Amino acid sequence: GDSDINTEIVVLGSGPGGYTAAFRAADLGKQVVLIERYSTLGGVCLNVGCIPSKALLHTAKVITEAEETSHHGVSFGKPDINLEQLRTWKANDVVGKLTGGLAQMAKQRGVTVVQGVGKFTSPHQVAVTAADGKVTTVGFQHAIIAAGSQATKFPGAPEDERIMDSTGALALADVPKRLLVIGGGIIGLEMGTVYDALGSKVSVVEFMDGLIPGADRDLIRPLQKRMEKRFESIMLSTKVAKIDAKKDGIHVSFEGENAPKEAQVYDRVLVSIGRRPNGKNIGAENAGVAVDDRGFIAVDKQMRTNVPHIFAIGDIVGQPMLAHKATHEAKVAAEVIAGHKVEFIASVIPSVAYTDPEVAWVGVTETDAKAQSLQIEKASFPWAASGRALSIARSEGATKLIFDKETHRVIGAGIVGVNAGELLAEAVLAIEMGADAHDLGLTIHAHPTLSETICFAAELKEGTITDML
Ligand code: FAD
Ligand code: NAD
């Protein structure tokens, strides 16, 4: 046709959704063009999301663990933090290795990467504008939209580099003396954990009455307790009324019963109040793809938009905005285009906050069960009775399983504690496989491990637990 490049499949955006779809489609023998505005592949997750945040959280954990070993007789000095080196490690040894690996994998598979901002110009063409203004048109038979999301801005906040989103916070320009985190969700608490360990006095303001509103309160309590000890303040049910950028700092005034009466001055502010999809920036209307008011694109179980040859995956199709949801949707889209009869039918999608302690949950929560009057039974095993938890000096955790009252099958799980994110995987598999309390309780778990707490919770429910540390 009249395009510079013609291909079977065009993928717009190279995050976990986009690169997975492109690679899967190429592996299925399709000709693929992958469009990405930035010079590295990997999207938010690899460049400015999941991965760099976990690198900094690792550093934070090393620092706080070293601090805390003084309680058992081993003391280290105050950490000597070389920010430049920390940034270089994060950028080169962690992020760079992964994004470089993606570029290589794209090459190996014969996926053509076109760099620039892509916009649909018709139902069968995308125009890609490079940084130098050069436009490349790509004609396609099928498209997969994987353009992701961006941080929501705080309405009315002034433009000032000290008022950051997660990307700014991950850039680690300095360690502010006093940091305000607006939004007590996952990003705010993960980045708050990092800056607290590096030496900032961290305050969190959240307008709901609890941190991470989506998780059960019993799972949040140990996290909140620890944060209350370490952080300067956690202001719940509190609104930010005004933000002024002045020479001496960012002046913030609050509204709410527990709010400080006077405006507070912070060296930096992190705005982490959610993310919004990029659906309005891709010329979707030129392709006839329906985008809702907020910028989300609706899809069916095969990830197909209202236009039958155009698919959408990842953050842009809705909650939860998680990398592992995007990758699974990506495979479905690629396989459907290749003619496979598949659907996205994950029965559950796990959530993990990589805070300290971590909070992880999957499936039915107790809050859901109450709201929907589900007939459930629950068993919660306190880590204070786990030999392993005690021996790592972190016994504040808990492992909770939620069972269907009739079938005794596991339908939900929540874990708070060190490594909760890793431990949750067993419960996710149990739910997907339809395992019941008996299955988990009779499975021999190695002792002493934190993974035993899942077995113990199942035994608690079965009434077969003995005193066992
Ligand atoms: P994205 O990763 O957003 O990728 C979209 C890509 O499309 C981007 O590279 C963008 O540049 C490109 N693009 C957009 N529009 C265009 C256009 N018009 N032309 C060309 N290119 C375009 N999730 C987890 O599961 N675990 C975590 O630990 C986790 N941590 C996070 C930490 C932070 C700080 C943040 C911000 C997010 C985190 N997330 C985490 C969420 C995760 O990053 C997203 O769910 C995931 O990246 C979504 O993947 P995606 O493919 O839908 O889109
Ligand atoms: P979020 O929706 O998780 O949390 C935002 C928080 O800000 C909520 O608690 C909300 O009540 C609060 N809030 C909203 N407006 C506010 C206001 N004006 N003042 C005070 N509080 C306000 O969003 P996020 O933390 O920005 O994360 C965005 C997305 O990125 C999420 O969907 C999350 O799934 C994803 N993410 C995931 C991980 C992970 O899986 N570990 C890590 C980071 C981000």
Confidence of residue 466 (pLDDT cuts 50, 70, 90): confident
- Residue 16's alpha-carbon distances to 13, 140, 238, 334, 397, in angstroms, are 9, 21, 35, 13, 31
Confidence of residue 140 (pLDDT cuts 50, 70, 90): very high
> Is any ligand 2 atom within 6 A of the Cβ of residue 222?
no
Q: What six digits make up the tokens of 26?
A: 């190429």
| Whether 447 is catalytic | yes
> Is any ligand 2 atom within 6 A of the Cβ of residue 153?
no
- Residues in contact with ligand 1 (CB, 6 Å cut-off): 12-18, 35-38, 43-45, 49-50, 53, 117-118, 146-149, 166, 187, 278, 281-282, 314-316, 321-324, 326, 354
Indicate if the pLDDT at residue 206 is higher than 90: yes
What residue type is 406 in one-letter code? E
Confidence of residue 81 (pLDDT cuts 50, 70, 90): very high
Give the number of the ligand closest to the Cα of residue 44. Answer: 1
Give the residue-averaged pLDDT of 347-356: 97
Indicate if the pLDDT at residue 1 is higher than 70: no
Residue 211's pLDDT is what? 98
Q: What's the chain's Rg over C-alpha atoms?
A: 24
Q: What six digits make up the tokens of 144?
A: 């997969």
CA-wise closest residue to 234 among 248, 223, 242: 223
Confidence of residue 57 (pLDDT cuts 50, 70, 90): very high
Indicate if the pLDDT at residue 168 is higher than 80: yes
> Is any ligand 2 atom within 6 A of the Cβ of residue 207?
yes
How much distance in Å is there from the Cα of 186 to the middle of ligand 2? Answer: 5
The strand pairing partners of 252, in sequence order, are 243, 264
From the alpha carbon of 208, which atom of ligand 2 is closest? 11
From the alpha carbon of 44, which atom of ligand 1 is closest? 2
Please report where in the chains the tokens 């991965």 appear, as a residue.
51
Contact 243, 251 (CB under 8 A): yes
Residue 258's pLDDT is what? 85
CA-wise closest residue to 60 among 356, 391, 279: 356
Q: Give nearest CA residue, ligand 1 atom 11.
A: 37
Contact 57, 193 (CB under 8 A): yes
Give the residue-averaged pLDDT of 203-217: 96
CA-wise closest residue to 218 among 383, 62, 374: 383
Q: Give nearest CA residue, ligand 2 atom 43.
A: 187
Average of per-residue pLDDT values in the chain:
97
Residue 143's pLDDT is what? 99
How much distance in Å is there from the Cα of 323 to the middle of ligand 1? Answer: 7
From the alpha carbon of 315, which atom of ligand 2 is closest? 32
pLDDT in tens, 248-289: 999 999 999 989 999 999 999 999 999 999 999 999 999 999
Give the residue-averaged pLDDT of 228-246: 98
CA-wise closest residue to 357 among 231, 232, 225, 214: 225
> Is any ligand 2 atom within 6 A of the Cβ of residue 36?
no
Q: Give nearest CA residue, ligand 2 atom 2.
A: 274
Percent of the chain with pLDDT over 90: 97
Q: What six digits make up the tokens of 256?
A: 């709410």
pLDDT in tens, 377-389: 999 999 999 999 9
DSSP code of residue 269: E
Indicate if the pLDDT at residue 312 is higher than 80: yes
Residue 325's pLDDT is what? 98
Task: Report how far residue 214's alpha carbon sits from residue 18's, in angstroms, rounded to the nearest whole number.
Answer: 27
Task: Report how far residue 27's alpha carbon sits from residue 109's, in angstroms, rounded to the nearest whole number.
Answer: 7
Contact 94, 172 (CB under 8 A): no
How much distance in Å is there from the Cα of 33 to the middle of ligand 2? Answer: 32
Contact 265, 249 (CB under 8 A): yes
Which residue among 14, 44, 47 is best mutated to probe the pocket of ligand 1, counting the most ligand atoms within 8 A of its Cβ? Answer: 44
Residue 403, H or E segment: strand 398-404
Indicate if the pLDDT at residue 177 is higher than 70: yes
Confidence of residue 468 (pLDDT cuts 50, 70, 90): low
Residue 469's pLDDT is what? 61
Confidence of residue 67 (pLDDT cuts 50, 70, 90): very high
Contact 360, 222 (CB under 8 A): no
How much distance in Å is there from the Cα of 121 to the middle of ligand 2? Answer: 33
How much distance in Å is there from the Cα of 307 to the middle of ligand 1? Answer: 23
Give me the phi and psi of 368, to 5 degrees please.
Answer: -60, -50
How much distance in Å is there from the Cα of 49 to the middle of ligand 2? Answer: 13
pLDDT in tens, 90-137: 999 999 999 999 999 999 999 999 999 999 999 999 999 999 999 999
Which residue among 152, 154, 187 is best mutated to probe the pocket of ligand 2, counting the most ligand atoms within 8 A of its Cβ? Answer: 187
Active-site option among 251, 340, 408, 447:
447
ipTM score assigned to the predicted complex: 0.98
Would you call 247 helix, strand, or coil by DSSP? coil
> Is any ligand 2 atom within 6 A of the Cβ of residue 321?
yes
How much distance in Å is there from the Cα of 321 to the middle of ligand 1? Answer: 8
Q: Give nearest CA residue, ligand 1 atom 3.
A: 148
